[in-house]
Amino acid sequence: MTVGEELIRTKVGLLELAEYLGNVSKACKVMGYSRDTFYRVKSLYDEGGPEALQEITRRKPNIKNRIDPKVENAVLAFTMEEPAYGQVRVSDELRKRGTFISPGGVRCIWLRHNLECFKKRLIALEDLVAKEGVILTEQQMAALEKAKEEKVAWGEIETEHVGYLGSQDTFYVGCLKGVGRIYQQTFIDTYCKVGICKLYLQKTPITAADLLNSRVLPFFESYDIPLLRMLTDRGTEYCGKPDAHDYELYLALNDIDHSKTKVKSPQSNGICERFHKTILEEFYQIAFRKKIYNSLEELQEDLDIWLEKYNNERTHQGKMCCGRTPMQTFLENLPAAREKLIAV
């Protein structure tokens, strides 16, 4: 049944209902029509029967916009040629070839074919090569090689012993009424996962260096082992001109090398990022529901208690800990670390 036939049937049903009920107002209320529409329909029906109703029900269906199959095939073909291009650039390049489609249209086609992100387009390209044996262009090869390099080069942090590499990052805790914004400076030894933290009211090179000066270096000195290298992101509290930046100067004075993560790649410093998730779920979200803190020192005291438990009681299943606590891993690796340092 077409749309027109269904509407005609509905209006005939309105007339029959009014005749059955003997009340035009009730029939219109039930069917959702006005009395004016009823009398107009009745007049047409009396003059020419159901066929006469066709004149007032001649409604064209609103057909959804559809992309021409030729345009869609052109987009898919160009996507396989240049998988690294975004939707705006694909639209621009196709326009040069005489195919006109908006960036939004390109996006719709990608969504229908599961190609909306670069990773999925690379997978589709690899499948195409495997099935049809297509010879790749230089741009396609470059895109695939780049993806492989990113997986290998930034996949895992290399560390040989305790003190070999420390990871540092800034964590925004929140804003306490009457205290202000609170930032946590975090240090993690990448080998044994020992965590050292201190809270501050601002994030600056001075606060980043203060964590090392007040807590981290004294900790390693108490075990007669040096800290050789630091890994940080490229935040302003960690990076700057070596001769004028407080954090860079502090590292240079203490003969500590400085490694920086890849730009816009927080996973490169994943040890700190994972620790921040743990401390948020296991400490801050619970502590702020149990107690109202009125000072930074009060929160620092509870944080130190939690860190003591984290380092000495909470076991880890990581690569180096293997079910031991961070401090157990640290103490057991100390002799090996000293031997390696002497050998160097």
Predicted pLDDT of residue 65 = 65
Residue 204 confidence (pLDDT) = 94
- Residue 59: the pLDDT is 57
Give the pLDDT score at 20.
82
pLDDT at 35: 85
3-state helix vs strand vs coil in the chain, percent to 5: 60, 10, 30
H/E element holding 300? helix 296-312
Predicted confidence at residue 151, as pLDDT, reads: 46
pLDDT at 45: 81
Mean pLDDT per 10-residue run, the chain (344 residues)? 71 84 84 84 81 61 72 91 86 90 91 88 81 70 62 59 93 92 95 95 94 95 93 91 90 92 78 91 89 92 95 85 91 89 69
The verdict on pTM exceeding 0.75 is: no
pLDDT the model gives residue 148: 56
What's the token pair of residue 341? 């340092």
Specify the pLDDT at position 57. Answer: 45
DSSP letter assigned to residue 331: H
Question: Taking the domain 166-343, which CATH number applies?
Answer: 3.30.420.10
| CA atoms in the 13 A half-sphere facing the CB of 168 | 31
Domain range list for the chain: 3-56, 69-153, 166-343
- Please name the residue that has the structure tokens 């929140």: 174
Residue 275 to residue 326: CA distance in whole angstroms? 13
Alpha carbon distance 56, 41 (integer Å): 9
pLDDT of the residue at 130: 77
